[in-house]
C-alpha cells in the first residue's frame, strides 16, 4: 500500500513559490531520504505534508486518504524538528507522554508507555529529568521517543542529526534505522548529507530548487542521475564539454567511444571512472593532496584546467605537480545533451 | 579596554540619573525617619511609620491604592492575555493590529481621564445614549462609575491603557512559543485549543506575570487617575501623601515622607519579584531547543 502520495504539490511562502509541482510516492514501511541542498525546500515539503504550511495546489494522501484539507492534529504525520521543540516545562517522560495525553490515555498508562519508549531509545531512568538537564544527544532521543508515542502514520525527520558530533550522529542513525524497522513506521528523512541519505534509505528523492528531479533506490539515483543538475549535486565530478560524432566523444582533454547520437554533450567524469594505475588517454596534473585519516583526497587538473577530485585509500607517492596519463572507463562516464553551453564547438 | 571606556561614557547619563534617584530615595527615607535638620529634627526614629500605621485614614488610602493596583493588574492580565492569544491565533494578519494596540499605550493618563469622564460620567456619552434609547428614564439612573470610593472609574481607565500593554508585552514571547512549541504540540495531535492551554499559555506566563507586576507598581504609585476619577474620601495613597507633603505644617513633613517610604518599599519589593521572574524565565528557556 502507498503510505504517502504527493501529487503536483505547490507551496508558496510570503508570495514566493517554494515548491513547484512536487510529486512523490512512498510504500508502506519504507525509508525515504529527501536529499538536497539547504534552502531548496526540503523542510517546507515536510511541513506541508504535516499541515504546518498551507499549500497552493496539489494533493497529499496519507495511507490513501486525502489529507490536504485536514488540520495538522488530525493527519498523523509527525515531525521530529531540527530544533527538537521539546516542551521545557515538562519532564522527559511528560514530553513523551504528551501525544498520549492528547488522545485521552489516562495518566498512569501514558507514563508507563513513556517509560517503555524511553527505554527503547536507551534513556531508561531519565524520565523524571527536566529537558534542560539533558545533553543534546539525549534530547534528540527524547524527541524521537515522543514522535513514536504518537504512533505516526508517517514519521518525518527534519535534519535530526545535523547538530550532533560525528560519533553521536552514527549512533543516532543506527538507532533511527532500528526503530524504523521495529515499529515498521514509514519514514521520511530530510538531509543534505549525501552519504547519510544513500546509506540509510530504501528510496532517495533529490529535491533541487523546489522540484523533485529524481526518485529511486540509492543505487539508481547515485549511479544514474537523470540530468546534469542531479549528477552535479552528487559532486566530485568534472564536467567535460564536447561533441559526439560517429560514436566517438571528443573534448579538449578526452576522446573516448560513446554510443550516442551525434551532437553536443556534457560528459561527467566521476572518480569511479578513473583508473590511475593504468596508462590511458587522459592527462592529469596533481594539484593538491590532503590526508584525511581514512583516505587522502587528491585534486587533479586536466589539460584545460578543469579539476577533478579523487579520494585515494593510500597517500599517493607523487609530489604536487606530478603529471600522469590515466585510463578512463568510458562505461562509467555520464553523458548529458548540452543545451545551455554553446561556446565550445 | 577602549570598548569598556566607550561603554562607560555612553552609560554616564544613565548613571547620573540613577545617582540622582538614589539620592532622592535616601532623602525621602532620611526624612521619613525624622531627620530634617532644617526643622530642628535630628534624632532618627520609627515613630512616624508607627504613627501612620495607626492612622485610619492612611490605612484606608493604602487599602484603596492596593485595591486599584490589584484590580487593574489582574483584570488587565486576564483581558490582555486573551487579546494576545487572539492576535497570536490570527497569525500575520492579526499582527497588523499591533499598531492599534500601541495607541492606548501612548496616550497620557490625564487624557485617558478626560476620555473616561466624557464616556462614563452621568452626563457622559454612554448615559446620553442609553437615555436616548429609552433604557433609562433620567441621567441619575445611569450607574455612578466615577468619583466612587470603589474607584471603578480609575480601574476602567487603567484597563483601557494596560490591557493593550499586557497584550503588546506578551505578544513577542507568545507568538514565538506558538510558532515553535505550539506547532509541535499540534503536530503531536493536540487541537489548536489544547495546544494553546497546555503549551503556549504556560510558557508565556512569565511575560504575563512580569507585565502584571509592572502594572501593579504603576497603578499603586499612580497619582493622576485616582485624583481625577476617584472619590474625595478615601483618597489613594499617592494623593494622600502629596497632600500631606503640601501641608503648611512643616513638622508634618516626616509623616508624608513615611507614606512615600511605604510606596517605595512596596515598589522595590515588586521590582525584586520582577527580577526573580525574569531570571526564572531565562532559565526555563535555556536548552529548551527552541530559539
Per-residue pLDDT of chain A (345 residues; tens, 9 = 90+): 799 999 999 999 988 999 999 999 999 999 999 999 988 999 999 999 999 999 999 999 999 999 999 999 999 999 999 999 999 999 999 999 999 999 999 999 999 999 999 999 999 999 999 999 999 999 999 999 999 999 999 999 999 888 888 888 999 999 999 999 999 999 999 998 898 999 999 999 999 999 999 999 999 999 889 988 888 888 777 888 899 999 999 998 888 888 899 999 989 888 888 898 889 889 999 999 999 988 999 999 998 888 888 889 888 999 999 999 999 998 888 899 886 544 443
pLDDT above 70 (res B196): yes
What secondary structure does DSSP assign to chain B, as a single string?
A: -HHHHHHHHHHHHHHHHHHHHHHHHHHHHHHHTT-BGGGTB-S--SHHHHHHHH-HHHHHHHHHHHHHHHHHHHHHHHHHHHHHHHHHHTHHHHHTTHHHHHHHHHS-HHHHHHHHHHHHSTTSHHHHHHHHTTSSSSGGGS---SS-TT-HHHHHHHHHHHHHHHHHHHHHHHHHHIIIIIHHHHHTT--HHHHIIIIIHHHHHHHHHHHHHHHHHHHHH--HHHHHHS-SSSPPHHHHHHHHHT-S-GGGHHHHHHHHHHHHHHHHHHHHHHHHHHHHHHHHHTTSS--
Report how many Cβ contacts below 8 Å link chain A to chain B. Answer: 85
Could you check whether the bond before residue B157 is cis, i.e. omega within 30 degrees of 0? no
Q: Which of A83, A102, A139 sits opposite B188 (nearest CB)?
A: A102
Report domain A2-227's class.
alpha beta
Cβ contact, residue pair A132, B189, below 8 Å: no
**ipTM score of complex:** 0.85
Using pLDDT thresholds of 50, 70 and 90, give the confidence band for residue B288: very low
Q: What is the CA radius of gyration of chain A?
A: 24
Give which of B126, B123, B117 is closest to B147, Cα–Cα: B117
Mutate to test the interface with B, among A73, A146, A156, A162 (most CBs of B within 10 A): A73
pLDDT in tens, B71-122: 999 999 999 999 999 988 876 666 677 788 888 989 999 999 999 999 988 8
Q: Would you state the pLDDT for residue A118? A: 97
Q: Which of A89, A101, A150 sits opposite B284 (nearest CB)?
A: A89
Cβ contact, residue pair B187, A50, below 8 Å: yes
pLDDT in tens, B201-237: 999 998 999 999 999 999 999 999 999 999 888 999 9
Say whether residue A139 is in contact with chain B using an 8 A CB cutoff: yes
Using pLDDT thresholds of 50, 70 and 90, give the confidence band for residue B290: very low
Q: What is the CA radius of gyration of chain B?
A: 23
Q: Which of A72, A88, A139 sits opposite B285 (nearest CB)?
A: A88
pLDDT in tens, B131-164: 999 888 888 888 888 998 999 999 999 999 999 9
pLDDT above 80 (res B282): no
Q: Cα–Cα distances in Å, from A164 out to A102, A138, A172, B102?
A: 30, 11, 9, 43
A326 neighbors A276 (Cβ within 8 angstroms): yes
How much is the average pLDDT of B53-66? 94
pTM of the entire structure? 0.83
Mutate to test the interface with B, among A79, A85, A98, A155 (most CBs of B within 10 A): A85
Q: Right CATH number for B32-254+269-285 from 2.40.110.10, 3.40.50.10790, 1.10.3720.10, 1.20.1050.90?
A: 1.10.3720.10
Give the rounded percent of residues in chain B with a pLDDT score beyond 90.
64
Chain A partners of B201 at a C-beta cutoff of 8 Å? none
Mutate to test the interface with B, among A43, A48, A89, A135 (most CBs of B within 10 A): A89
| A74 min Cα distance to partner chain B (Å) | 7
Amino acid at each position: 500500500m502507498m503510505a504517502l502520495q504527493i501529487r503536483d504539490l505547490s507551496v508558496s511562502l510570503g508570495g514566493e513559490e517554494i515548491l513547484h509541482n512536487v510529486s512523490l510516492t512512498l510504500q508502506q514501511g519504507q525509508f525515504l531520504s529527501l536529499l538536497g541542498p539547504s534552502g531548496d525546500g526540503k523542510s517546507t515539503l515536510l511541513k506541508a505534508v504535516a499541515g504546518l504550511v498551507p499549500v497552493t495546489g496539489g494533493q497529499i494522501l496519507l495511507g490513501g486518504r486525502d489529507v490536504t484539507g485536514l488540520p495538522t492534529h488530525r493527519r498523523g504525520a509527525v515531525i521530529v524538528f531540527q530544533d527538537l521543540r521539546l516542551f521545557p516545562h515538562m519532564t522527559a517522560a511528560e514530553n513523551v507522554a504528551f501525544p498520549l495525553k492528547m488522545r485521552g490515555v489516562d495518566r498512569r498508562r501514558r507514563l508507563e508507555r513513556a517509560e517503555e519508549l524511553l527505554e527503547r531509545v536507551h534513556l531508561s531512568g531519565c524520565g523524571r529529568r527536566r529537558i534542560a538537564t539533558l545533553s543534546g544527544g539525549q534530547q534528540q532521543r527524547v524527541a524521537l521517543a515522543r514522535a513514536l508515542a504518537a504512533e505516526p502514520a508517517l514519521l518525518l525527520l527534519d535534519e535530526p542529526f545535523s547538530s550532533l558530533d560525528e560519533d553521536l550522529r552514527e549512533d543516532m542513525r543506527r538507532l533511527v534505522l532500528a526503530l524504523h524497522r521495529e515499529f515498521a513506521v514509514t519514514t521520511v528523512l530530510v538531509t543534505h548529507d549525501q552519504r547519510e541519505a544513500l546509506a540509510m534509505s530504501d528510496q532517495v528523492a533529490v529535491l533541487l530548487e523546489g522540484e523533485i528531479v529524481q526518485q529511486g533506490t540509492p543505487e539508481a539515483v547515485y549511479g544514474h542521475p537523470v540530468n546534469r543538475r542531479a549528477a552535479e549535486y552528487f559532486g566530485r565530478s568534472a564536467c567535460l564539454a564536447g561533441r559526439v560524432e560517429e560514436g566517438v566523444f571528443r573534448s579538449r582533454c578526452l576522446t573516448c567511444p560513446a554510443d550516442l547520437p551525434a551532437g553536443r554533450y556534457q560528459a561527467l567524469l566521476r572518480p569511479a571512472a578513473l583508473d590511475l594505475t593504468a596508462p590511458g588517454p587522459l592527462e592529469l596534473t596533481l594539484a593538491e593532496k590532503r590526508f584525511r585519516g581514512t583516505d587522502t583526497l587528491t585534486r587533479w587538473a586536466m589539460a584545460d584546467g578543469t579539476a577533478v577530485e579523487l579520494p585515494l585509500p593510500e597517500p599517493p607517492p607523487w609530489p604536487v605537480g606530478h603529471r600522469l596519463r590515466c585510463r578512463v572507463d568510458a562505461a562509467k562516464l555520464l553523458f548529458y545533451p548540452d543545451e545551455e553551453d554553446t561556446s565550445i564547438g | 579596554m577602549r570598548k569598556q571606556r566607550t561603554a562607560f561614557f555612553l552609560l554616564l547619563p544613565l548613571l547620573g540619573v540613577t545617582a540622582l534617584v538614589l539620592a532622592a530615595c535616601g532623602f525621602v527615607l532620611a526624612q521619613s525617619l525624622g531627620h530634617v535638620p532644617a526643622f530642628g529634627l535630628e534624632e532618627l526614629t520609627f515613630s512616624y511609620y508607627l504613627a501612620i500605621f495607626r492612622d485610619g485614614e492612611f490605612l484606608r488610602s493604602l487599602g484603596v491604592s492596593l485595591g486599584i493596583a490589584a484590580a487593574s493588574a489582574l483584570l488587565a492580565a486576564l483581558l490582555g492575555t486573551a487579546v494576545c492569544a487572539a492576535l497570536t491565533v490570527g497569525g500575520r494578519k492579526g499582527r497588523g493590529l499591533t499598531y492599534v494596540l500601541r495607541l492606548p499605550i501612548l496616550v497620557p493618563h490625564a487624557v485617558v481621564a478626560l476620555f473616561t469622564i466624557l464616556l462614563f460620567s452621568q452626563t457622559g456619552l454612554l448615559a446620553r445614549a442609553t437615555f436616548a434609547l429609552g433604557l433609562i428614564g433620567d441621567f441619575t439612573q445611569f450607574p455612578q462609575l466615577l468619583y466612587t470610593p470603589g474607584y471603578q472609574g480609575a480601574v476602567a481607565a487603567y484597563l483601557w491603557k494596560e490591557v493593550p500593554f499586557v497584550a503588546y508585552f506578551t505578544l513577542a514571547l507568545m507568538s514565538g512559543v506558538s510558532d515553535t512549541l505550539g506547532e509541535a504540540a499540534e503536530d503531536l495531535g493536540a487541537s489548536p485549543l489544547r495546544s494553546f492551554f497546555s503549551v503556549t499559555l504556560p510558557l508565556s506566563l512569565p511575560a504575563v506575570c512580569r507585565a502584571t507586576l509592572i502594572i501593579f507598581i504603576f497603578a499603586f504609585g499612580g497619582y493622576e487617575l485616582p485624583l481625577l476619577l476617584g472619590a474625595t474620601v478615601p483618597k489613594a495613597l499617592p494623593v494622600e501623601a502629596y497632600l500631606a507633603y503640601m501641608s503648611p505644617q512643616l513638622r508634618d513633613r516626616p509623616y508624608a515622607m513615611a507614606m512615600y517610604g511605604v510606596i517605595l518599599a512596596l515598589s522595590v519589593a515588586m521590582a525584586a519579584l520582577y527580577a526573580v521572574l525574569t531570571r526564572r524565565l531565562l532559565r526555563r528557556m535555556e536548552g529548551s531547543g527552541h530559539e
